[in-house]
Structure 1
């Protein structure tokens, strides 16, 4: 009876979850299709907002209700890189890579495992009949063993292939004219610099190619003043707009009802009594601090703050002590890379941390200059807090896991017996939809707190916080969403039998582990159907724009921001969330292979949703230059370990020791692969071999060796950088000035003619996973082009590739030559995903250097408190002159502008142009 109930529950849970999620999916898709063109500000702002830079502008999409799918899937790889950004491109690549692995896994695993499981001798029902739980015959599990070798080995090789591609792409990206010209690509940040080196003379002796030096300094007091001023300025802008809005509504109402207008019309007190004018407190603590008048004392105080801040800024740097961190800007990206690679080999800088590829706005300035001990204490505190949170977060998550098998608890928890009498459909909702939604809500609460702990723990850059968040949130996902939920689900389904016979606990849990996959089937249905369609439907932005936004946005600035601000993806959260899909798919791929189907469907639907949003809706976030991708690839090993350990445990429960030994062998292979990949790839992720930079600068081939992707060059450059004394200075400066010299020595040392010929001959076939275009890439011509011709050639090539597709077409597999080509690209990544190929797919805009104002560059890496400008407040111009009075009242204290904003006949403010402090954003 229990088995029948279990089967009924699992099937009803699936059916209920499928029906509900399909209904939600249909509603969301209909909303998107209906409003996509009508409300372009919500559904395609990247194509319509005028402040979006030209290189980020999305192409107009066709009007058909579903033609956008074929349109966006047909965009070439270069287009996706440019519009979605490098980080968006690699996120999409992650989804399509593991979605494709799911397809391959299903094709090879299902015919074998479904047949073996179905004839395994068990009495399971429902989905469990095609899972390992239905196998009671001892020797049948050898099929699962060898299938695990095949599938897990394929995943390990895919990680290897993708790491090769990322390194090639990252190096090609870094040497592209756009990225190589960025100030962030030429600036090295060093932390914990010894006191003896905290002067320009010593640093220039070590790094003679440096052009600018910035020391971090103790600006804590100045930072407080700037924050206080900004907060008070915000209160002033909000207060002025509030009283102006109220006054104009009173006036509009009087006009509408033909009543007498307040006199004098241009005096604020005619509309609002003096006693009701806005006030503020000089201390934000409730019931503490003196109450002050905002429009008199507030203006005076912000004027005083402006004077005090300006005075301190003028004394910089003499009035501020150094704190131990330094920014060094080099004459070129090549010199930056040489220095970056050399830092670990310097005796004086051996204990220092180094950062590059971070812009001034990416620095967490309050954490610069922390001593080694202070940073260690802060990090220990943050790690301790998050570790305790993982432990205690398991309690609510375990409850959620138990709900998915709540029907098993009714024998011992008597007040739950009424659940047995519920209809199957309602039982399905309780055991499937309710826990998956609750789990998603629980996990969504964590990322902001984890990011905060990263800053508390001493992270120096936004990129470092991003990495910290991805690692910790992924740990939460694996421990809570997978381990705790799975064990709670398996334990709750066995609780009655375990109580009766505690010694059978391990055997029972082993039997119940495969059926626990039923929870994740519902979880994948929720993510694949509801979340993907919800991403497209954008219900919350739609409501905010047309309902709540009109209520909440009461100032011209808020309304302007609503119309012009774009949402940004949080890569750390997204990689962790969808990386969990990979863990679930890998772990249950052999135990309950049906999960592969639902995971793959989820990947495909989410890929399509984000392919659209990253091109038409979302802005580029902080530039991580794709760095989340290799981190996510290494995190896949967690799923491999869990899958192999679970499978080994199930073999142990069946006392099949031969399979146990052979699966342990697979674990050893996985560990060795993991360590080997870290050894050969981690030194390449944040560095660019000098050969790659020289090749890009001089327009020649052969200086970049694909056999080790420049690993030998990096080590030798680092070791030799500080050798040579005074001669080193001449070498640095000469190499920085002479960009056209041939680098024959590098060709001789790091590449041979055979490799050169192989790379050259193969490039006509080089395509990535995203593209099925057959356009040949004539890279042999690169060496014969000078620096002026090369961007034009590559721009033309970008246009020629515009017919390429970003996902493999199933029809291609009917063509034997294309299948052969695909297999060649898959098993020869160093040949078909080379540095030269990655250079060929860069967008045309990446071949144009970024030119910025010299004054802006010279102040680039100073603490923002040093360069902070006085706030510029924005109010709407009214027809009677109230706003003009505010402009006059603020003179000499703070800038108030009523330009580009007016009141309409209904007394509502509206913007007509950009805010007074608007500037075009130029990053890097």
Structure 2
């Protein structure tokens, strides 16, 4: 009897034991954030203080009040939020707000209905949260309440997905056709990989296929050059570190001699006066067995040789062998879109598996993967997929152990050596079954993303944007399979092991009955994600430690100190989306089975939203500009949650022999599948292309308007087909009919973005339309209205000087001779070392030593140029 009481009370004690520590952590972290926010501006508001942040991305200062920033940000306009958080950050916030809103309305619908249905006239032995869960229902007719609640709740989610995807496409097309984006080199450059053999290194044929292209640049094999550049980079890093080390150490020794009134060396400007040659920095030319050389002397001799060798190869870069990929630059986005939309309709491109990539900057390209043919790429992808699949399978072992721990007290009846657990206090039992597995699971999952990204590179992906999306796919799969499915099954199975051993035929029935009890673990999991994680994100504890403690020890050169202050952390959206998508999966799956979980999810999503609202505006730099591509992927991934929820309900109804509810839930499952297929057909083809009519419309043409009904789906297909058969696309046909010249009305897009605070919009920055407009996306989320909410800076165009034009060439081809930055000391050591540098670009400008003998910077490093968006 005592054992039974211990088991049934586990959910309550686990909840309390998880809630209290997380509340304490939340309170401590938030209190520290409030206390430090106005004092440590570099940590908590770097976007307002770091000079390298572009002016248009510098927000107004955060209000000084403890929580004044919350109201301050909530009252900002949508255009302001887009500008400050960036496109990708804005859509991540919109994703969080979507789930917070869905959970809020779901709670308003589900809790008043299902809590009484579950709690009344149930099983007499139910305890804790089990009383208000699906498992407490005995009357089969009550399951109709669960079915119809699922219909409304899941239907609301499906419609919400449709609405958000419609908005994303309108937004993407409006953003792409803005003057600012339209003027970027990356917007006018098309990458084609895996070219047919007859087109490889054949500029004449490429120009014949794409006559509008103004520049044709083939990717080439620079293996030897790349090897030399890597060697130079590695040696350059050693050289700069060694120069700074001997200067810093010599200055320190000199200060100690002065402090102790000891005699100073005769030549105070010579390193050898303070550090004998044997104690100066040395390194081995080969690991372990290589010759040991003086780093400064060797580098001063070797680097000029490498510079000359690299320069010779760079001058002959066009002689290298082409590797089957080409960059095409067009005079305008209009011509690029015509070409992009046509690629899939050219038969030789289809046969060779040619891939078209747009909106990629040179820094975004994974150059080593451009030489992969279609079949090589397929083989590499198969290897990467196999490795990750096996990893998912074997990763289930430690995750299953974590799941078992959450219900370990149920094993004591058959596993005798665990019976000591029954004697533990409720508080300790709660920590073991509640907090411990949640923390262990979070640590396990944090180890996965770097490996997934490495496998993405192995698979042959050609841009870092693609790797980020690859990571989002696979990390989401890991999260759903390991954190949800494996943990749920392990937790549910553990709770019924004794009963299954006694009566194996009852396994499926017992698992179905106990599946809702696994929700207790996820309530604890959501508490961790909703309290400790967002408060930790606000506190920026890692950044705080790095800047105030480790930074002072590790940053011993002017360049390191300059980089520490002027570099902002970047959000990895391919990692962030799956983490919070998982909370959505858990909430959707258990919303009907254990409704109380949805209340915790509302709080969790709200707190996470506020934390990232602050960080994306004031702390984090903008991630790579993927134009919000993670967002629609995340919206489609919600269907996984819907399928799992509906299948679980069908299974539970089958086990309960509730055939009517089962049939109705199957109807919902089929409807969800149909909606999923429709939305994929409707929206996926529109992700990366812009209808020609949108370009005309944005340019101020009065003869054609953006196709609101299908957002250009039919037109894009027609444009692609007409490119090769010589006919005129629908958009061009109408323009020609009215003006006589297809391109006469196409000029630079007109400045129509109001932006700022005066765009006619008020209230929450990322809120969806008012309830009365919720079911009218074509009227309220269309192309023109979306354009009116864009930031004003998008009216500007980027004007490139000849020096600022970044060519689409391998980084080793454009790699410049390195600059070396050392601290300028009063002893003249830096000047002496510059004189012995053998013509290398060594500089001590914008540096000095402080009164403690530590190097400081007073300006940017040598060769620094403000980045220009490509």
Q: Which residue of 2 is the match for residue 371 of structure 1?
A: 373
2:633 to 631, 634, 644: 631
Q: d(CA) in 2 for partners of 1:855 and 1:825?
A: 49
3-state SS of 2:218 partner: strand
Mapped to 2, the partners of 1:492 and 1:789 lie a distance apart of: 63
Alignment deviations for residues 132-172 of structure 1 (CA, whole Å, 9 cap, x no partner) = 01011121111111111111111111111111000000000
Contact 1:368 1:460 in 2 (8 A): yes
Q: CA deviation at 1:794?
A: 3.0
State the SS of the aligned residue for 1:104: helix
Q: 1:757 maps to what in 2?
A: none
Give the Cα–Cα distance (whole angstroms) in 1 for the partners of residues 738 and 456 of structure 2: 41
Matches of residues 13-92 of structure 1 in structure 2 within 5 Å?
Answer: 13-92=14-93
**Which one of 848, 852, 855 corresponds to residue 796 of structure 2?**
848
Query: Which of 776, 787, 793 is the matching residue for 1:828?
Result: 776
Instruction: Pick one of 181, 186, 189 that aligns with 1:187.
Output: 189
In the alignment, the residues of structure 1 paired with residue 703 and residue 771 of structure 2 have an alpha-carbon distance, to the nearest angstrom, of: 26
State the alpha-carbon separation in 2 of the partners of residues 796 and 158 from structure 1.
26
Q: Report if the CA contact (8 A) 1:703-1:746 is conserved.
A: no
- Using a 3 Å threshold, how does the CA distance of structure 1 residues 311 and 881 change in structure 2: closer, same or farther? same
Distance 1:744 1:145 in 2: 56
Question: Which residue does 2:512 correspond to in 1?
Answer: 510
**What's 1:207 paired with?**
210
1:464 paired residue number: 466
Change in CA separation of 1:701 and 1:795 when aligned onto 2, cut-off 3 Å: farther
Does 1:257 pair with 2:260? yes
**For residues 697 and 14 of structure 2, what CA distance do their matches in structure 1 show?**
59
CA distance in 1 between counterparts of 2:803 and 2:765 reads 41
CA distance in 1, matches of 2:810, 2:528: 45
What is the match of residue 410 of structure 2? 408
1:805 corresponds to 2:783: no
Q: Which residue matches 1:339?
A: 339
**Matches of residues 362-761 of structure 1 in structure 2 within 5 Å?**
362-700=364-702, 702-724=704-726, 743=735
The secondary structure found in structure 2 opposite 1:896 is strand
> Equivalent residue of 2:673, what SS?
helix
1:225 Cα offset (Å): 0.8
Query: What's the CA shift for 1:699?
Result: 4.6
| Change beyond 3 A, Cα 1:677–1:701 | farther
Taking structure 1 as reference, are residues 23 and 797 closer, same or farther at Cα in structure 2, changes over 3 Å only? Answer: closer
Question: In the alignment, is residue 895 of structure 1 matched against residue 841 of structure 2?
Answer: yes
How far off its partner does 1:847 sit?
A: 1.0
Whole-Å separation in 1 of the counterparts to 2:750 and 2:177: 13
1:764 aligns with none
Q: What are the within-5 Å matches in structure 2 for residues 162-241 of structure 1?
A: 162-198=164-200, 199-241=202-244
Could you say what secondary structure the match of 1:22 adopts?
A: helix
What's the counterpart of residue 742 of structure 2? none
Query: What is the aligned partner in structure 1 of residue 810 from structure 2?
Result: 863
| Aligned twin of 1:904 | 850
What's the counterpart of residue 359 of structure 1?
361
- The structural deviation recorded for 1:909 is 0.8
Helix, strand or coil at the partner of 1:513: helix
TM-score (norm 2): 0.96
How far the C-alpha of 1:461 sits from its partner, in A, is: 0.2
Classify the secondary structure of the residue corresponding to 1:686: coil
> 1:3 Cα deviation (Å)?
5.1
Query: Distance in 2 between the 1:412 and 1:184 partners?
Result: 65
Residue in structure 2 matched with residue 317 of structure 1 by the alignment: 318
* Structure 1 residue 698: Cα displacement: 2.8
Question: For residues 361 and 760 of structure 2, what CA distance do their matches in structure 1 show?
Answer: 32
Partners of 2:714 and 2:772 lie apart in 1 by 27
Alpha-carbon distance between aligned partners in 1 of 2:635 and 2:299, rounded to the nearest angstrom: 54
Three-state SS of the structure 1 residue aligned to 2:318 is coil
**Quick one: distance in 1 between partners of 2:558 and 2:843?**
11
Q: Deviations over 1:630-661 (max 9, x none)?
A: 00011000000100011111011111122222
Q: 2:395 touches 2:482 (CA, 8 Å); kept in 1?
A: yes
Q: Once the two structures are superposed, what CA deviation does each residue of 1:309-364 show, in whole Å capped at 9, x if it has no partner?
A: 0000011202x000000010111001111100000111222231110011111000
**Are positions 1:299 and 2:246 aligned together?**
no
**1:853-886 Cα deviation digits (max 9, x unpaired):** 23543x5211111010011111001111111111
Residue aligning to 1:770? none
What is the distance in 2 between the residues matched to 1:173 and 1:33? 36
Determine if contact 1:699/1:787 at 8 Å carries over to the other structure.
Answer: no
Structure 1 runs, 4 residues or longer, greater than 6 Å off: 785-789
SS at match of 1:666: helix
Rate the CA distance shift 1:695–1:746 in 2: closer, same or farther, 3 A: farther
TM-superposition CA deviations, 1:508-532 (whole Å, max 9, x none): 1111100100101111111111101
2:123 matches 1:122: yes
Contact 2:304 2:838 in 1 (8 A): no
In the superposition, relative to structure 1, how do residues 594 and 354 fare at CA in structure 2: closer, same or farther (>3 Å)?
same
Structure 2 SS opposite 1:827: coil
TM-superposed CA distance for 1:213, in Å, is 1.1
Match of 1:248, SS state, is helix
Q: 1:216 aligns to what SS in structure 2? A: strand
CA distance in 2, matches of 1:486, 1:682: 32
Tell me, yes or no, if the aligned pair for 1:535 and 1:609 is still in contact at 8 Å. yes
Please report the RMSD computed on the Cα atoms of aligned residues, expressed in angstroms.
2.1
The 3 A distance-change label for structure 1 pair 19 and 313 is same
The superposition leaves residues 400-436 of structure 1 with CA deviations (integer Å, 9 ceiling, x where unpaired) of 1111111111122222211111111111111111111
In structure 2, distance between residues paired with 1:746 and 1:391: 62
For residue 349 of structure 1, give the secondary structure of its aligned residue in structure 2: helix
Worse overlay, 831-840 or 699-708: 699-708
Change (3 A) 1:714 1:915: same
Of the structure 1 ranges 76-85 and 366-375, higher mean CA displacement relative to structure 2 is found in 366-375
Rate the CA distance shift 1:510–1:790 in 2: closer, same or farther, 3 A: same
Q: 1:188 aligns to what SS in structure 2?
A: strand
Distance 1:32-1:354 versus aligned 2 partners, 3 A rule: same
Q: Which residue of 1 aligns with 2:330?
A: 330
CA distance in 2: counterparts of 1:428 and 1:590, whole angstroms: 25
Alignment check: 8 A CA contact 1:703 1:743 kept:
no
For the residues of structure 1 that align with 2:756 and 2:403, how far apart are their CA atoms?
53
> What are the superposed Cα offsets for residues 369-396 of structure 1, whole Å, 9 maximum, x if unpaired?
2122221221111111111100110011
Does 2:844 match 1:885? Answer: no
Query: Residues 368 and 833 (structure 1 numbering): CA distance in 2 closer, same or farther, change over 3 Å?
Result: same
SS of residue matched to 1:214: strand
In 1, Cα distance between equivalents of 2:70 and 2:854: 40
Alignment of 1:764-783 (within 5 A): none
Point out where structure 2 has 5 or more consecutive residues left out of the alignment.
740-744
CA distance in 2, matches of 1:801, 1:824: 18
Residue 916 (str. 1) matches residue 862 (str. 2):
yes
List gaps (5 residues or longer) in structure 1: 736-740, 748-784, 810-820
Whole-Å separation in 1 of the counterparts to 2:374 and 2:150: 45
Question: 1 CA distance for matches of 2:374 and 2:746?
Answer: 48
Question: What SS does structure 2 have at the residue aligned with 1:907?
Answer: coil
Question: TM-score if structure 1 supplies the norm length?
Answer: 0.91
Q: CA deviation at 1:663?
A: 1.3
8 Å Cα contact 2:79-2:755 kept in structure 1? no
Shift in alpha-carbon separation, 1:655–1:248, aligned structure 2, 3 A: same
> CA contact under 8 A between 1:798 and 1:843: conserved in structure 2?
no
Measured in 1, the distance between the counterparts of 2:671 and 2:8 equals 37
1:879 partner SS: coil
CA distance in 1, matches of 2:66, 2:155: 42
Q: Is the 8 Å Cα contact of residues 179 and 750 (structure 2) preserved in structure 1?
A: no
